[in-house]
Structure 1
Amino acid sequence: MADNNDKVTATTHWVWTAKAEKTNASRSVEGEPIWPHYQQRAPKRWLDEGLIQDSTEFAGKGQMDLYELI
């Protein structure tokens, strides 16, 4: 059983996901960094629930991939 104090460390920093924005739009915007005191180490539960992701995994909202143009 996971401890509620378990933390996960980001490669760069954590950003909110679309799920987090849908859950709490007043505080979480997809692709925006999470709260400053959690940007490097955040509760593992948030990652498990799909509320956060590493910034390197965020492709961006509405951004076109270069390969879409080829």
Structure 2
Amino acid sequence: MFPLTTTKPGEKVHICSLSCSMEEAKRLRELGCVEGICAAIVSNQSNVILQVGETKLAINGNLARTILVKTT
């Protein structure tokens, strides 16, 4: 597993762990970013744009470092 910030645009990843605060994890889960789901990296610059289903989430770098993923 590695942080979301180390991914490249176009990669498909599985969300493994949300190691952020409980409030942040709750909000991410409400938006569809849950453990076990497959997502695609749209952009990875200072922020990460993550596509989960039909939804694109902009995640700041600090929060993205706490989201652990593995490639599919």
More strand by share: 2
Structure with greater contact order relative to length (CA < 8 Å, sep ≥ 6): 2
Larger radius of gyration: 1
TM-score (norm 2): 0.36
TM-score (norm 1): 0.36
More helix by share: 1
